[in-house]
Amino acid sequence: MTDIAVPPAAPVIVVGSVNMDLLFTGLAQIPQPGQTVSAESFRIVPGGKGANQAAAAARIGANVQFVASVGTDDLGDQAIAALAADGVGLDNVTRVEEPTGVAAVVIDERGENAIIVNPGANAEMRPADAAAIAARFTGTAAVVLACLEVPLDAVTAWARIARDNAWTFILNPAPVPAEPLPRELLELVTIITPNETELAALRDGTAEALLAEGVGAVIVTRGGDGSELFEAGEARHHEPAFPARPVDTTGAGDSFNGALAAALAEGQPLREALVFASATGALSTRAVGARDGLPTRAEVDGMLVG
């Protein structure tokens, strides 16, 4: 059983990306190479895996402290305002001269999506800044949640800090880099949360290989087929998906990860946190955009008892 001991009310430190999403919806299909497809609508909405995860955790009541790099442009102002509205702590967000990250998101009539990202300011996150930020939380318990839309060396720096402080470190390995993740990083990961596609691109494509590399636990998300939890010495655990009629699956994984971190920060055992995250992820698919469907705590609790 994975050793996760986090007192209630621990902060959730989200280390990740901030984008503004150029959102095209209502496509008959995701375009193929050389194909032009019409969209029914277009709008600009806040996004970025890290920001989405931070917003998801904050909406369900977590004390979220966000670590990110954002441009000083108008898109950066919009991104910051959206996070503040969701109650995300922004004291550790750095404004830089690079443009704010952007993503082009296309969503078909079935709710499936394809995404193109330009990192912009996200690439400016520096590992050297991690220690000074983390020092503000020294002596407390914490859950750190990181994605791979920011530099890998910065993520690894936070993983080391989490180990040194006995914090839980969750890695959402998205997007999976072209080169294999370093063993040093994997040995520092408490929980890794790939989806099926991401798992296939990691090591030999199995959860067992990740456990052998030193990861504490592997949660594989499988959309409508639920999720699976793998822990060394334990039988594989399947968690069924909650009923959902997805309008847009863009932010489901981010919502799942944010909720998982929030639940662990409350002291929920891992399997209970997995159920909580599954309910949150299902609810998040009910609206277009990565954040419009993010549920409140009351909505998640309602699904869990309903």
Which residues are marked as active site?
254
Burial class (CB in 10 A: 0-12, 13-18, 19+), 35: exposed
> Dihedral sign, CA of 52, 55, 60, 63?
positive
Are 172 and 201 in contact, with CB atoms under 8 Å apart?
no
Burial class (CB in 10 A: 0-12, 13-18, 19+), 103: buried
Which structure tokens are listed for 281?
């992820």
Q: Locate the DSSP E strands across the chain.
A: 12-15, 19-27, 41-47, 64-71, 89-96, 101-108, 113-118, 143-147, 168-172, 191-192, 217-221, 227-231, 237-239
Which structure tokens are listed for 33?
């190479």
